[in-house]
Structures are given as structure tokens and as C-alpha cells.
Amino acid sequence: MTGRFHIAMPLDDGPTGGGNQFLKALRGVWRRRGAYADDPVQADVVLFNSFQFLRDAAALRARLPKAVFLHRADGVTRLYNAPDDPRDAAAIRANRFLADGTIFQTAWCRDAHLRLGWPTDRPYAVIGNAPDPAIFHPGVAHDCAKRPRLVVTSWSRNPNKGADVLDWLEASAPQLDFDVTFVGNASRKLANIHHLAPVPSAELAEILRGQDIFLMPARNECCSNALAEALACGLPALARNDSGNPEVLGKGGELFDRPEEIPAKVAAIAANFAAYRMAIPKFDIDAIARRYEAFADTVASAAPMISHYRRFGTPAAWFARLALT
């Protein structure tokens, strides 16, 4: 049944967040296969993302009553931003009234959303992310430098991206036995850490391949695209022991709970660098696309579950139901 997919949001080609980067890679696979519809009217499956562009998704739901609508759940904003952040509630309403099935990116993501009251009366699946292999791939194999080179990336300035760890590294840099480069938008001036502004994906991948170890300090990450990109470039990683990070990292590095643990963990990775590189998980965007397709088929073959809300037949009615007006 699968047919052609359409992603119901504009995708930015510049330096942006991980969800945008992953969806671009997914769209690229479907375009290569002739399985992507730039015109949503020609789509059999519409994929919409979290709380983003829900008005567009609602308008398409009203126009395409026979299409399968899949909802990709993203980060939990109440954890990531503030307990009163309204976007989780918007995503739950959208799921209830627009979605035929849900895709969670990690088991942690699934469990966190279900605790919020995410609907469970329709199919859902856990399907991870993968970066574009044409951009994020290993370079020439090398040994870890005697003074290891760590790299951190973040497009967002949100403190939960690891501001506490960056502050600790900034303060401790003169005593550390490794160098740190931060690529992204910093919330403060960094004097002791090498800081580069955000760059497009191809440039970022080149920077990653010139480093030794990726540092992932973020909290409450659903399924970090930044971590997956670094691993795909062949960098063992040191990730905060939090949320979806352990699922993405696998055995390709070490986990830490406190910044003070970082020097010893860096030393452990450097001492067994080749073994950690060999243990990096494999990311296959084509396999991920096939899992999306298989799940769409599963949803399409299930008993019609949304007939009770397809009666809201105009975009205005959908917007009102979703409290989007």
C-alpha cells in the first residue's frame, strides 16, 4: 500500500535543529526512490512532526480523508523547556484528532510521552533516526591524538543542551588534558573553549571528522541527531547518562552523570580508541525509511480508527477542534 510520502512542514537547508536534519535525510531517500510527493494531494502517507505546523497538517487532514497520517513525536517540551510549556498539549491534541499512527524515536521518548497522556488507541512504533550518509560518514581512520580533541555541537541555546557542562569545561580548561571545540550557538562568551558559529551540515561533518571524541552534554534528549551525526562520522562519544542518549550511543562510547567525571572518561576512551570506534552503532537511513514504510502499511491495514473525527470536514473546523484558531 505504502505509495508516496509527504512531510507536512517546510525543511530548512541551513544550520538548524536535529529534527529538520533528519527529515531532510528521510525525504532524500524517498525522492531517490520516487516515493515522495512534493504536492501533498498526490501523497498516500502524510508525516507531520510533533507540535510543528499543525495548521498545515490539519488543513491536509481535511483535504485528504483517505491518506494515512503518521505523527512523529519529538522532544518533551515540559522537560526540555518549562513545566508550563503548552506545546506538549498541542501535540497530544493533534495526535488525538489528526493521526492514524505514532512514531516515537526511542523507548525513552515513547515512555515519556505516554506518561503525559499520549493517546494509545491507535498503532505506534519506536523507530530511531539516522543521518544522511552522503554527508555524515567516517573519514580516514586515525589514532586518538596524544592530547584528545573533543567536540560539542548545538544549534539551540537552550540551557538543557548542556550549559552546565560547557561552564564547567570553560572554567576547568587550563587544567584539562584535552582540547574542546564547540560548534553552535553559545549562550555565553567562551574564552577557553574554541568556539565556531553554526555551519551547514557538510561543513559540520568535516569538522567532526577532524576531531577525536564527541561530547554530548544535553539533558532530556528524545533521540539526539547531533550524537548520531558524530557517531556516523566515526567519533566515539561521551554522553550524559540521560533520556534517549544511552539508546543512541550503544557501546560506542561512555556515559557520564557529572561534569567532574569527564576527564577520566575521556582518558578511558583515548586508551581504547580503536575498540570504541569498532563498537559505534551503524546508522542506515535507507533501513529507517523502510521501517517508516512498513509501519505505514501496518497502520493502513488496521481497522479505521479515525472515522469518528474525520467528520470535521473543513480546515476551519479542524483548527477549532485543535484550538489552533
Name residue, grid cell 484528532. Answer: 97
pLDDT of residue 304: 57
- pLDDT tens per residue across span 257-313: 999 999 999 999 999 999 999 999 999 999 999 999 999 999 998 855 554 445 455
- pLDDT tens per residue across span 141-194: 889 999 999 999 987 777 778 889 999 999 999 899 999 999 988 777 888 899
Tell me whether residue 139 is in a domain: no
Distance CA 18, CA 155 (A): 8
Please tell me the least confidently modeled range out of 82-91, 95-104, 107-116, 212-221. Answer: 82-91
pLDDT band at 88; cut points 50, 70, 90: confident
Write the DSSP string, 34-67. Answer: T-B-SSGGG-SEEEEETTTTHHHHHHHHHH-TTS
Q: What is the mean pLDDT of residues 212-235?
A: 93
> Could you tell me if 93 and 208 lie in one domain?
no
> Could you tell me if 273 and 289 lie in one domain?
no
Residues whose CB is less than 8 angstroms from the CB of residue 115 and which lie 6 or more positions away in sequence, other chains included = none
Percent of the chain scored above 70 by pLDDT? 90
pLDDT of residue 308: 43
> Could you tell me if 248 and 305 lie in one domain?
no
Q: In which domain, by residue range, is 203 found?
A: 149-278
pLDDT of residue 317: 63
pLDDT of residue 17: 65
> Could you tell me if 92 and 168 lie in one domain?
no
pLDDT band at 80; cut points 50, 70, 90: low
Distance CA 63, CA 182 (A): 45
Tell me whether residue 196 is in a domain: yes
- pLDDT beyond 90 at 11: no
Tell me whether residue 16 is in a domain: yes
> Could you tell me if 297 and 270 lie in one domain?
no
Burial of 207 (0-12, 13-18, 19+ CB in 10 A): middle
Q: Are 199 and 207 in contact (CB under 8 A)?
A: yes
Distance CA 267, CA 253 (A): 12
> Could you tell me if 30 and 118 lie in one domain?
yes
Q: Cell numbers at residue 276, please?
A: 570504541
Distance CA 118, CA 254 (A): 32
> Could you tell me if 232 and 294 lie in one domain?
no
Please tell me the least confidently modeled range out of 80-84, 223-227, 236-240. Answer: 80-84
Q: Cell numbers at residue 191, please?
A: 574564552
pLDDT of residue 322: 61
Q: Are strands 194-196 and 124-126 parallel, antiparallel or unpaired?
A: unpaired
Number of structural domains, the chain? 2
Tell me whether residue 142 is in a domain: no
Tell me whether residue 311 is in a domain: yes
Distance CA 220, CA 160 (A): 7
Residues whose CB is less than 8 angstroms from the CB of residue 282 and which lie 6 or more positions away in sequence, other chains included = none
Distance CA 229, CA 204 (A): 9
